[in-house]
Amino acid sequence: MRRLRGRLIQPLVREHVVSKADLVAPLFVDETAAAPVPIASLPGQFRYPAGGIARAVQDLRAKGIYAVLLFGIPAAKDPGASEAFNPDGIVQQAVRSIKEALPDMVVITDVCACEYTDHGHCGILTDGPGGPDLDNDRSLDLMARIAVSHARAGADIVAPSCMLDGMVAAIRGALDHEGFTDTAIMSYSTKFASALYGPFREAADSGYTCGDRSTYQINPANRREAVRESELDAGEGADILMVKPAGFYLDLVAAIRTIGLPVAAYQVSGEYAMIKAAAARGWIDERNVVMESLLCIKRAGADLIITYFAGDAAGWLDEEQ
């Protein structure tokens, strides 16, 4: 086996390669920010003001990143997440600003309510036998309204992350009804009730005040259920399927690739924070670990990798040329 591991020959037989076109950069837009605000639990990441988001995206584009995923933090929250579908809401402003500055940048928007509700859950709450819980069917209309408002602002892809039954069908129907037949849906189709989302909740101000999200996100123990979720979303009209988190769930990335649609994998905030923390202590080499992690996500079958390391990885890829 070592005959093909010689340094001159290795590049000829390399099976997988990460490219800049694989990478999507998540960005946070904060309606209350006057300047970029550092996120303590995500070193190197910021909450950007609406007026500064286009500059941040231009910097990414200059590095060769062609797609961003936007999360909004509104100035006001309420039980019905009304700011999420406000035509002049923070994400809607950001989309218009980016598209005006960079019309050929791919803009993806997170379609959810956790940042916009005062209780922090991903839709409308109802009283259940075990306490407050997400009202699935009442929340579908909310997601449809959010998605349409994002498409109207100019989003190329909407990405529902609420894990509601029927969310893709509801959004596809609403988009088509409003004439946005070319707006694609990247569904968070296999999203686990993971312990790795903690830094994101600080970044997006999306912590919940009661209960948890285990009644609508997937139990990490359940592989068959995870595959079934993506199969259902594919049947409802999803254009891209997603596995979230990425690194702990590469078996699901590989399984969901067999469905036949493009697959995205989200290297989430906890994955980013762990690498950053270990690197800061000198325990690992940040660059090598990041690039290995991205390569392994690609090897498992991901077509797109959503990662907070996108900008850094683009620079490292340039250095490898």
**Annotation says 191 is catalytic:** yes
Name, in order, each residue with C-beta under 8 angstroms of 44's C-beta and a sequence gap of 6 or more. Answer: 276, 308, 312
Catalytic residue among 77, 99, 191, 298: 191
Q: Alpha-carbon distance 214 to 133, whole Å?
A: 10
Catalytic residue among 20, 77, 99, 244: 244
Other beta carbons within 10 angstroms of residue 93's beta carbon come to: 20
CB of 48 within 8 A of CB of 29? yes
Interior/surface letters 202-229, b for 16+ CB within 10 angstroms, e for the rest: ebbbbebeebebeebbbeeeeeeebbeb
**Annotation says 298 is catalytic:** no
The catalytic site residues sit at 191, 244
